[in-house]
Amino acid sequence: MPPTDPLSQVIATLHKGQRFFLISHVRPDGDAIGSLAGLARSLRKAGKTVDLGLVDPPPERFGFLLEGETVRKPGDLALDHDAIVILDTGDLPRTGFAEALAKPATVVINIDHHPSNTSFGDINLLDFHASSTCEMVVTLIERARLPFDPDVAQGLYLGLCTDTRFFQNENLRPAAHHAAQRLLETGLEAATIHGRLLSTRKLSEVRILGHALTRLTVELDGRLAWVALSTADLAQQGATMNDVFACGLFNQLTGIDGVVASVGIVENTDGKVYCEFRSRKGFDVKEIAVAMGGGGHLAASGCNREAPLATMVDEALGHLRNRLGSFPR
C-alpha cells in the first residue's frame, strides 16, 4: 500500500526516481540556496541526476554553494524529470517558473515552512513550526537515509543560521538546535560558514546600510521603526537590491531597544516596491504582509508590487500604526 503521509510520500518519490529538478524562489536567500544545495548534493551522492532552477542569481555571500552549477531558467525547463521539488516557496508564482510549470508532466513536491504556503504541490511537505526549510531537509535526508556528509551539510547549516538569525529568533523549538547538532556531527567546519556570513561585507552593502540608518524613523513611543529607500538612494550608494537584503538592515531595525515592529520599504529598478516586515513579542506582521499581497511568518514577512514608493509607505505604515495601537504594551 502506498504511503499516505507527506514525508513518506516524498521519501518514496526520491528513492524511486532518478532525475530531479530543484527550484526555489525569486531573490533567493540563505534558506533557499542552502536547501537547494544540500538536497541536490545528497541526491547526487545517492546516484541521482539533479538540475537546479532559479530566476535570480544568489547573493554573492551565498554564491559559493552553487559554484560550478548550471542553473536553469524557466525557458530551459524540459519537464522530463521524475519529480520537481520546490523548496522554501509559499506559492508557485514566487518561483518565477509558474508559466513553465502550468501543466507539469511530472509530480510536484512542495517543501516549505511558511504559514502562508498555498499547498500548490501534488505532495505538500509543510511544517509551519520549523525554523527553516533547511531544518526540514535535514529531517528528510535522515529519514530517507540519503548521503549526509560535510559537503551536504554546508548549505543546510548556512540556511539554518540565516533563517534563525543565528538562533536569535523568538520561539525557536529544540528541533532547530537538534538539526544544527546533526549538521555539525558530520564534521562540518562551522567557523568557515560563520566567516562567510559575518566577516566579509561588500563596500556597497556597508554604504547602503549606513545611508539607510540615517533615514531611520522611530515613532509610537519607540515601538515602530521604519526606513524607506528610493532607487535614487540605491544609485547614490552604488548599491543593488541584493545589497539591501544582504546588509542586515531589516533585522537591525527590530534590534533597537523598545521596537516591537519594523518595516524597510525599498523601491527597486524593476518597477516594484518591496516591503520587509519584522517584529518581536508576538506581534503578527504576516497578517499585514498578506493584506498587501505577500506572506511569510509571524515575525518576518514581506510583500512587493508595482506602485509608487509613497503609496507603499503610506499603506505599510497605516497597517502597522493601526495594529500597534491596539497591541498590548
d(CA 276, CA 249): 10
pTM of the complete model beyond 0.85: yes
Task: Say which amino acid occupies 113.
Answer: H
| The pLDDT value given to residue 83 | 95
Q: What is the pLDDT of residue 75?
A: 81
Query: Strand 49-53 vs strand 107-112: parallel, antiparallel, or unpaired?
Result: unpaired
- From first to last of its 329 residues, the chain has per-residue pLDDT tens of 567 799 999 999 999 999 999 999 998 999 999 999 999 999 999 999 999 999 998 888 899 999 999 999 988 777 789 999 999 999 999 999 988 887 666 899 999 999 889 999 999 999 999 999 999 999 999 999 999 999 999 999 999 999 998 998 888 999 999 999 999 999 999 999 998 888 778 899 999 999 999 999 999 999 999 999 999 999 999 999 989 998 999 999 999 999 999 999 999 999 999 999 999 989 999 999 999 999 888 899 999 999 999 999 999 999 999 999 888 88
Closest CA to 30 of 215, 202, 294, 248: 248
DSSP secondary structure string for all residues of 82-127: SEEEEES-SSGGGGT-TTTTSS-SSEEEEEE--TT----SSEEEE-
Write phi, then psi, for 285 (nearest 5 degrees): -90, -10
Model confidence pLDDT, tens digit, residues 226-278? 999 999 999 999 999 989 998 999 999 999 999 999 999 999 999 999 999 99
Residue 78 pLDDT: 72
How high is the pLDDT of residue 122? Answer: 95
Residues recorded for the chain: 329
Domains of the chain: 6-198 (3.90.1640.10), 205-325 (3.10.310.30)
For residue 103, what pLDDT is reported? 67
* Cβ neighbours, 10 Å, residue 250: 21
Please tell me the predicted confidence (pLDDT) of residue 104: 64
Residue 120: per-residue pLDDT? 94
Residue 318 to residue 186: CA distance in whole angstroms: 48
CB 273 within 8 A of CB 307: yes
Cβ–Cβ < 8 Å for 217, 227: yes
